[in-house]
Amino acid sequence: MTDLRRTDFGRIDLRREASDIIAELEALRAADAPTHGGRVLSYVYDSGVAELDELAGAAARLVQPVNGLDPTTFTSVAAMEAAVVGFARSVFGGDDDVVGSVTSGGTESCLLAVKSARDAWRAARLGTPRVPRIVAPVTVHAAFHKAAHYFGLELDLAPVDPATGVPALAEIEDRLGDDVALVVVSAPSYPFASLDPVADVAAMTSPRGIALHVDACIGGFALAFWPDRLPTWDFSVPGVTSLSADLHKYGYAPKGVSVLLTRGRDRQRHQYFATTGWPGYPVVNPTMTGSKPAGPLAAAWAIVEALGEPGFAELTGRAARATAALRSCVERIEGLRVVGSPVGPLLAVATDESLPVERRVDPHHWADAARASGWHLQLQPGLIQSDGSRLPHTTHLTVTPVTEAVVPELAAALDAAADAVRGVPPVDGAVVAAGLSAALPGGAEALEAAAVMLDSDSAAGLLRAAGLLGGDAASDGDGGTAGGAGALPDRMAPVLALVEALPGPLTERLLVELLARVVEPPRL
C-alpha cells in the first residue's frame, strides 16, 4: 500500500495533509457507538473474530475500483455473486429452481421481492386497474411499508397475539383474495423474534396461487445453523416463492450486502429492469441502483468461503448460548418478562404486568438505565393493532457471537438496571405531548392538524420545544459539528413515549425533520 506520508499525490497541492484527515476521522469514529465488543445490542453484528473483519476488509479493498453494475465486464462480480447465491440456496433448502441476486441490504431485498410479486401479479392480469395488496402480520419489517409506498401497493396488516407476537392463521386466511400479490411472513420477526407459521401460511397461499415471501433478513443465516430443531421455514416448504437474508447481519459482512432468492426463473425475471430506449448503453439491472460497489459482495464472499457451513454453525452456537443465557437472566429479573417464545438470536422484553405496579420494571426505563452503564439496548414503541388490541412497548436485544464473552458482565448490568428503576411508572406520553402543544399557537388542536401541513421551521420549533434539537447555535458548536441537532437526550424513554402519544403522521413528520437536520451542514 502507498505510504500516504511519502507520496506527493501526483503533485496536487493538497488542501489538507492525509494524516490530518485520517486523524479527524479517527476522532469522529471514537464518538460513535462501539461497533465491536458486544455493547451495542442492535445494528451491529460482531462475530468476535477479528481475523474475519481483516479478511473482509482485504477482499473489499481488492475490488474497490470495480463497478458491480456490469458482471460481464467485471467478471469477478459474476463469480462471487454466483458463489454467494449458491451458498445461500443450499443453506436455505433451495434446489436448482431457486435463483437469486445479491443486493445492497435487507431493505433492497424486500423492496425487490415486492416489485417482482407486483409485476408477476400484473402480468397475469393484463390491463387490470386494481391496486394489489400485500398481506402480512403487523410484526413484518417496516421495509414492507416502504415497498408498498414506493411501488403503489396496499399493505394489509394482520394483528398478532399480543402475548406471543404470532398471528392467528384465520387472520391471514380472511385477507386472501385475487388482489393479493404477496403474503409476507418473518423468520423470525424483528420486533418480537416470533417465528411465523411459514408452512401453515404456505398451505393457504399455495393452492390459491399467491406468492409467499419469507423475510429471513435478520435471522436467516443464524436459523439455518440453529442448534435446536425448528419448524421448517425456508425453501423446504414448497409454497415459499422467495426469501431474503442479510449477509451484513448474521453473515458478519460489512454493511451493504444481502441476498434475495426466488423460486422459479420466470418469477425472478420480473425483478429485472431493462431498457434499450435511450441512446446510451442498454440498462439491464436486477437491483435498484446503477453503478454499485463490489466491496460488500467481495467481503461477504470471502467470509462465506472462509467459514463454510461448519464455521457458521460454530458462530451461531455462540450466539445461541448467549441468547439462552440472557433470556434466563431476564426471566429471573422481577418485573420484566420475555415476549412470547423468541426464535433465533434476538428477544424482546416487556413489563411483567402480572405484578403489582411497584414491582414492575418499565422496559424503556430499564434500557435507559443500562445505557447509563454503557450497554445500548433498543427501545421499541407500543402499537395499537387493527383489532384494537395493544402490543406492549418493549426493549429489543440482538445477540451476536461476541456477546457470549460478555454475558456475565451484561447480565449484571441488566440486573442492576432493573433494580435502579423497579416501580418507576412508565413515562406518560400525554404529559410529554401536552408540553409540546403548549409550544404551538393553537395548542393541542393545532398539534393534531399540524401533522401533514407542518413546514420545516415549525417542525424544528416543535423539536426544540421537546428538547430534541439544539438552537440556532448549530454553527458555533464545538469542532465543526455539522447540523442543527442537539445532543441526543440521555434518556430515550420520554422520546418513545412521545412517539406513542402523538398521532403517527405528526411523529413521522417530526422525525423526518430531526433526521434531515442532523445531516445539514452548519449554517453559513
Ligand X SMILES: *Cc1c(COP(=O)(O)O)cnc(C)c1O
Residues in contact with ligand X by the rule CB under 6 A: 105-107, 110, 141, 143, 186, 190, 215, 217-218, 246, 258
The answer to whether the CB of 166 falls within 8 A of the CB of 187 is no
Q: Of 295, 220, 303, which Cα lies nearest the Cα of 260?
A: 220
The answer to whether the CB of 349 falls within 8 A of the CB of 366 is yes
Work out whether strand 394-398 and strand 346-351 pair parallel, antiparallel, or are unpaired: antiparallel
Q: Of 211, 248, 243, which Cα lies nearest the Cα of 90?
A: 243
Our CB check for ligand X shows the closer of 143 and 222 to be: 143
Our CB check for ligand X shows the closer of 252 and 468 to be: 252
Minimum separation from the CB atom of position 219 to ligand X (A): 7
Minimum separation from the CB atom of position 294 to ligand X (A): 18
Question: Which three cell numbers mark 339?
Answer: 415476549
Q: Which residues contact 287 (CB under 8 A, 6 or more apart)?
A: 101, 103, 104, 108, 112
Minimum separation from the CB atom of position 245 to ligand X (A): 9
Minimum separation from the CB atom of position 107 to ligand X (A): 3
Our CB check for ligand X shows the closer of 215 and 404 to be: 215
DSSP code at position 207: G
Our CB check for ligand X shows the closer of 244 and 437 to be: 244
Our CB check for ligand X shows the closer of 106 and 132 to be: 106
Minimum separation from the CB atom of position 482 to ligand X (A): 24
Ramachandran region, residue 325 (left: φ > 0; alpha: ψ -120 to 50; beta: rest): alpha
Residue 242, H or E segment: strand 242-246
- Classify 36 as helix, strand or coil: coil
Minimum separation from the CB atom of position 480 to ligand X (A): 29
* Cα–Cα distance measured from residue 150 to residue 115, given in angstroms and rounded to the nearest whole number: 9
Q: Which residues pair with 294 in a beta bridge?
A: none
Our CB check for ligand X shows the closer of 217 and 499 to be: 217
* Chain-centroid distance, C-alpha 249: 9
The answer to whether the CB of 308 falls within 8 A of the CB of 394 is no
Q: Which residues contact 176 (CB under 8 A, 6 or more apart)?
A: 135, 183, 204, 205, 208, 210
Our CB check for ligand X shows the closer of 114 and 218 to be: 218
Phi/psi at 314 (5° precision): -65, -50
Our CB check for ligand X shows the closer of 343 and 454 to be: 343
Start-to-end CA span in the chain (Å): 39
Our CB check for ligand X shows the closer of 237 and 427 to be: 237
Minimum separation from the CB atom of position 186 to ligand X (A): 5
Minimum separation from the CB atom of position 248 to ligand X (A): 6
Minimum separation from the CB atom of position 223 to ligand X (A): 12
The answer to whether the CB of 126 falls within 8 A of the CB of 222 is no
Query: Residue number with the shortest CB distance to ligand X?
Result: 106
> What single-letter amino acid sits at 365?
H
Our CB check for ligand X shows the closer of 186 and 287 to be: 186
DSSP code at position 159: P
Our CB check for ligand X shows the closer of 104 and 205 to be: 104
| Count of CA atoms in the C-beta half-sphere (13 A) of 320 | 18
Minimum separation from the CB atom of position 140 to ligand X (A): 8
Residue with cell 398521532: 503
Minimum separation from the CB atom of position 102 to ligand X (A): 13
